[in-house]
């Protein structure tokens, strides 16, 4: 059985019987004889087939009256990979719910962002996922509450509101229903088993993923593009573990986030990355976690991606030698849009330097620096009014940057997870100075589209040439057709084949341009 196989109840049961962790988060198993629901890889004795009911979401299992298994903690699984690649209403809604939109704006706010009525959204989600937006958001709030109860010493009342509940009573009732424990009992259950942080606003957690994960690729990619003062990659001298650190602008405040890569020699399928968050407002926890997961592409299905690309005659050897390469997203689509324009026709280093200067001039400073982190990246509104002399780029690109920032600031162009990707691409292309490369790059990273190809990109060209394949845009597009629906991952494979570890010099293209996939050779 493979992850791409159409799932029936029989194939789901086979996954449960074999404790196949690849399906954690794809579906949940509810057991009538015990009244609990589990992840497919739960180590408990496999239930009889007749007692099993399968649900697409934890919220659906909870709505049917089942409580979460204490042994396998089904609320801590990676998200379904469907929400990465689906562009329909349900996929868009799930991305917004994951970002906390229902908690902040209600179902009406979710519906407005999606361009549908609240009734249509409720009907579609209920029909396909077995739960509406309120139930899905409630399940997410329960997970956040458990995390805060078991990793901090915050008072229960503070946790209730930080997790997004409107009242302590609602919080207590939900925790009892989902976990069959009082909040104090849930906290006591974790004592001595999980490390906790004792101060408000500092959270230690694990970010789960499925399959293999090449954290070196992710950290190399992010380190090469790290904006000074906003993000950095540091290495622990004793363990050799590299850590990505950055500031986050969030709905209620800001945060400093740290995510550790895997230790040298550690198995790529360990299943989680260690993360630490320092939040100015705990209500931002769910949103911060969701955005970091998107940045590291932790809900992906590497079995499906590597299975297809690994069978390709052009990419196969790259995939077999380096499993688990992800397609990084971003924590802030507006920031990424700015940086994409800054990267048009220049080297990565030049774009990073210019982004750092703009951050110094227009970014908000942290009250207290944290290591090398001092700034929040400037907002689109701030950069829309940037002085021309602060933009060290050709006049056409200045106009493109300011026009893009104005469109993002006033909502003419949206890049959140709920937008229709085709509509967003058309709106971007209508802006002066925004061409196909920039739009493709934003679709791939800001909108988490797994099937974007950049045939005119210089990194794609040189990656194909290195593999003995013609690198001109037409030949590249022909080769890329075989890599659908995972062409974004193919692009990263080609870029990674050219990018040595940070600290070494990447190869050069014409006129000294760095060949690492960050130059927008196809953009206007």
- Measured between alpha carbons, how far is 503 from 377 in angstroms, rounded to an integer? 24
Final residue of a domain: which of 48, 76, 104? 76
Residue 518 located in a structural domain: no
Residue 416 located in a structural domain: yes
Final residue of a domain: which of 29, 44, 76? 76
Kind plus residue range of the DSSP H or E element containing 443:
helix 436-445
Q: Residue 215's domain is classified under what CATH number?
A: 3.30.310.20
Give me the residue label for tokens 């890329």.
480
Residue 524 located in a structural domain: no
Residue 455 located in a structural domain: yes
219 shares a domain with 243:
yes
**3-class secondary-structure state, position 203:** strand
pLDDT of residue 191: 58
Where does 253-326 show beta strands of DSSP type E? Answer: 254-260, 272-279
Question: Cα 197–159–285 angle (5° rounding)?
Answer: 70
Q: Provide the whole-model pTM.
A: 0.90
Residues known to be catalytic? 38, 457
- Work out how many domains the chain is built from and give that number: 4
495 shares a domain with 402:
yes
Final residue of a domain: which of 39, 57, 76? 76
DSSP character at residue 148: H
Residue 225: domain span? 202-299
349 shares a domain with 430:
yes
Contact of 435 with 414, CB cutoff 8 Å: no
Of 346, 453, 444, 455, the C-alpha closest to 401 is 346
86 shares a domain with 68:
no
Q: Residue 55's domain is classified under what CATH number?
A: 3.40.10.10
71 shares a domain with 55:
yes
Contact of 466 with 495, CB cutoff 8 Å: no
Kind plus residue range of the DSSP H or E element containing 354:
helix 348-362
> Tens place of pLDDT for every residue, the chain, 524 residues?
444 457 899 999 999 999 998 899 999 999 999 999 999 999 999 999 999 999 999 999 999 999 999 889 998 888 888 887 788 999 999 999 999 999 999 999 999 999 999 999 999 999 999 999 999 999 999 999 998 998 888 899 999 998 999 899 999 999 999 999 899 998 988 755 454 444 445 789 999 999 999 999 999 999 999 999 999 999 999 999 999 999 999 999 999 999 999 999 999 999 999 999 999 999 999 999 999 999 999 999 999 999 999 999 999 999 999 999 999 999 999 999 999 999 998 899 999 999 999 999 999 999 999 999 999 999 999 999 999 999 999 999 999 999 999 999 999 999 999 999 999 999 999 999 999 999 999 999 999 999 999 999 999 999 999 999 999 999 999 999 999 999 999 999 999 998 765 444 444 544 334 334 444 443 33
448 shares a domain with 344:
yes
């Amino acid at each position: 059985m493979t992850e791409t196989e159409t799932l029936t109840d029989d194939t789901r049961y086979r996954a449960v019987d074999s404790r196949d962790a690849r399906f954690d988060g794809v579906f949940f198993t509810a057991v009538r004889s015990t009244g609990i629901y589990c992840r497919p890889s739960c180590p408990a004795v496999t239930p009889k087939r007749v007692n099993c009911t399968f649900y697409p979401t934890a919220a659906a299992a909870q709505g049917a009256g089942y409580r979460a298994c204490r042994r396998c903690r089904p609320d801590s699984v990676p998200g379904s990979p469907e929400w990465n690649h689906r562009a329909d209403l349900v996929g868009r809604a799930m991305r917004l719910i994951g970002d906390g939109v229902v908690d902040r704006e209600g179902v009406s706010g979710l519906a407005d962002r999606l361009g549908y009525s609240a009734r249509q959204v409720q009907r579609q989600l209920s029909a396909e996922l077995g739960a509406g937006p309120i139930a899905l958001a409630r399940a997410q709030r329960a997970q956040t509450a458990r995390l805060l109860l078991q990793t901090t010493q915050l008072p229960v009342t503070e946790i209730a509101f930080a997790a997004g509940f409107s009242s302590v009573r609602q919080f207590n009732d939900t925790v009892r229903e989902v976990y069959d424990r009082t909040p104090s009992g849930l906290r006591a259950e974790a004592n001595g088993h999980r490390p906790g942080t004792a101060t408000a606003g500092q959270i230690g957690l694990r970010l789960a993923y499925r399959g293999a994960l090449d954290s070196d690729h992710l950290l190399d990619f992010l380190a090469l593009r790290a904006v000074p003062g906003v993000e950095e990659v540091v290495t622990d001298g004793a363990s050799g573990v590299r850590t990505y650190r950055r500031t986050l602008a969030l709905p209620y405040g800001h945060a400093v986030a740290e995510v550790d890569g895997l230790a040298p020699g550690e198995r790529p399928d360990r299943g989680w990355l260690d993360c630490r968050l320092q939040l100015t407002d705990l209500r931002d926890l769910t949103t911060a976690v969701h955005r970091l997961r998107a940045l590291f592409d932790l809900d992906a299905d590497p079995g499906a991606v590597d299975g297809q690309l690994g069978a390709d005659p052009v990419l196969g050897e790259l995939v077999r030698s380096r499993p688990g390469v992800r397609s990084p997203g971003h924590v802030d689509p507006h920031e990424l849009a700015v940086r994409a324009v800054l990267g048009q026709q220049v080297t990565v280093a030049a774009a990073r330097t210019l982004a750092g200067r703009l951050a110094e001039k227009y970014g908000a400073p942290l009250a207290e620096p944290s290591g090398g982190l001092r700034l929040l990246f400037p907002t689109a509104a701030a950069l829309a009014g940037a002085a021309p002399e602060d933009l060290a780029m050709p006049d056409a690109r200045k106009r493109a940057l300011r026009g893009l920032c104005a469109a993002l600031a006033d909502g003419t162009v949206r890049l959140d997870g709920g937008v229709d990707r085709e509509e967003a691409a058309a709106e971007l292309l209508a802006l002066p100075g925004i061409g196909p490369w920039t739009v493709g790059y934003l679709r791939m990273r800001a909108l988490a589209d797994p099937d974007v190809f950049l045939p005119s990109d210089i990194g794609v060209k040189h990656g194909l040439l290195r593999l003995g394949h013609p690198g001109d845009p037409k030949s590249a597009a022909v080769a890329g057709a075989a890599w659908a629906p995972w062409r974004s991952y193919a692009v990263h494979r080609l870029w990674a084949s050219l990018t040595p570890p940070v600290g070494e010099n990447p190869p050069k293209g014409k006129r000294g341009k760095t060949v690492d996939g960050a130059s927008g050779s196809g953009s206007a």
